[in-house]
Amino acid sequence: MELTRIALGLEYKGTAFCGWQRQAQGYSVQDALEDALLQVAGQTVEVVPAGRTDAGVHASAQVVHFETRVARPLTAWVRGVNSFLPASVAVLWSRRVDAAFHARFSARSRSYRYLLLNRPVRPALNSERCGWYHGELDIERMRQAASLLLGEHDFSAFRAAECQARSPVRLMRHLEVRRQGEYIVFDLTANAFLHHMVRNIVGTLLWVGRDKRPVEWMEELLRSRDRTQAGPTAAAAGLHLRHVEYDPSWGLPLPVDPRYDIGQLD
């Protein structure tokens, strides 16, 4: 049987998982998906993601690919696989793709949203889906600091020590900070992200919003390339992978909901 490459779109709530990637300890999203694919394919299947999310991080538009010699209708890779997945993971769509397609290397950009509840009282209803800060934050100062991160930079100051990326240079295409009701929404798009990069940027912007650091300091921090000088890593619960961009020629569907709203957030 000819080898076929299949692309899948996924959404998942990352709370109960040790992250995307299979690990010696803990149960990962990759484990859950490959276990379910095994049931449908009748053989071991290894999936490759567009990006590896950390423990507790969510996704509304993760993309993966795998190869198989097993002939199954595309619906089997959706409804069939979903019947074996835990409730917190779902396959949204499946497509047959050319052998040249690669979920990671064919991606043009990734977009993340960080949701921060900004009120005196901690969250309950959305406690596993947002970060929280109790004090006052100056949104305008945070916007100004965020604008200094646009463009191509060495983002070593926002890179986790365990990051395995070959280069710390990334192209930040979009970074928006806005308030909506009790939430502060951070939307970021880059060609790729370093390990903990988004959460470290959010934690650092909070320092600026609290007037702990001046706006101009963000440029100094970038130049320093020193992670120890930046702010703390924001909680994983607030981070959502919301879109992976590919060339339209691949024929992949757009995310079902690229906004990945909580309540009335837009």
Can you give 219-231 as a three-state secondary structure string? HHHHHHCCHHHCC
Looking at CATH, the fold of the domain delimited by 109-241 is given as Alpha-Beta Plaits (3.30.70)
Q: What is the pLDDT of residue 265?
A: 47
Looking at CATH, the fold of the domain delimited by 4-106 is given as Alpha-Beta Plaits (3.30.70)
Domain ranges of the chain: 4-106, 109-241
Mean pLDDT of the chain: 93
Q: What is the pLDDT of residue 254?
A: 76
R_g of the chain, CA atoms, integer Å: 19
Could you confirm whether 54 is annotated as catalytic? yes
pTM of structure: 0.93
Domains 4-106 and 109-241 share a fold: yes
Q: What is the pLDDT along the chain (266 residues), one digit of tens a residue?
A: 789 999 999 999 999 999 999 988 899 999 999 999 999 999 999 999 999 999 999 999 999 999 999 999 999 999 999 999 999 999 999 999 999 999 999 999 999 999 999 999 999 999 999 999 999 999 999 999 999 999 999 999 999 988 888 999 999 999 999 999 999 999 999 999 999 999 999 999 999 999 999 999 999 999 999 999 999 999 999 999 999 999 999 999 976 554 444 444 44
Which residue do the tokens 């992670």 mark?
227
For residue 175, list its beta bridge partners.
188
Tokens representing 152 are 């191509």
Out of 31, 35, 54, 261, pick the active-site residue: 54
Distance separating alpha carbons of residues 105 and 100, to the nearest angstrom: 10
Burial 172-204 (b: 16+ CB within 10 A, else e): bbebebeeeeebbbbbbbbebbbbbbbbbbbbb
Distance separating alpha carbons of residues 183 and 135, to the nearest angstrom: 12
54-96 pLDDT, tens digit each: 999 999 999 999 999 999 999 999 999 999 999 999 999 999 9
Distance separating alpha carbons of residues 207 and 231, to the nearest angstrom: 7
Nearest to 226 by CA among 155, 169, 150: 155
| Contact by Cβ (8 Å): 77, 98 | no
139 CB burial (10 A radius; 0-12, 13-18, 19+): middle
Q: What is the pLDDT of residue 163?
A: 87
Q: What is the pLDDT of residue 72?
A: 94
Distance separating alpha carbons of residues 134 and 125, to the nearest angstrom: 16
Distance separating alpha carbons of residues 194 and 167, to the nearest angstrom: 9
Q: What is the pLDDT of residue 71?
A: 92
264 CB burial (10 A radius; 0-12, 13-18, 19+): exposed
Q: What is the pLDDT of residue 25?
A: 87
> DSSP assignment of 171-240, as one string?
EEEEEEEEEETTEEEEEEEES---TTHHHHHHHHHHHHHTTSS-TTHHHHHHHHT-GGGS-PPPPGGGEE
Q: What is the pLDDT of residue 256?
A: 54
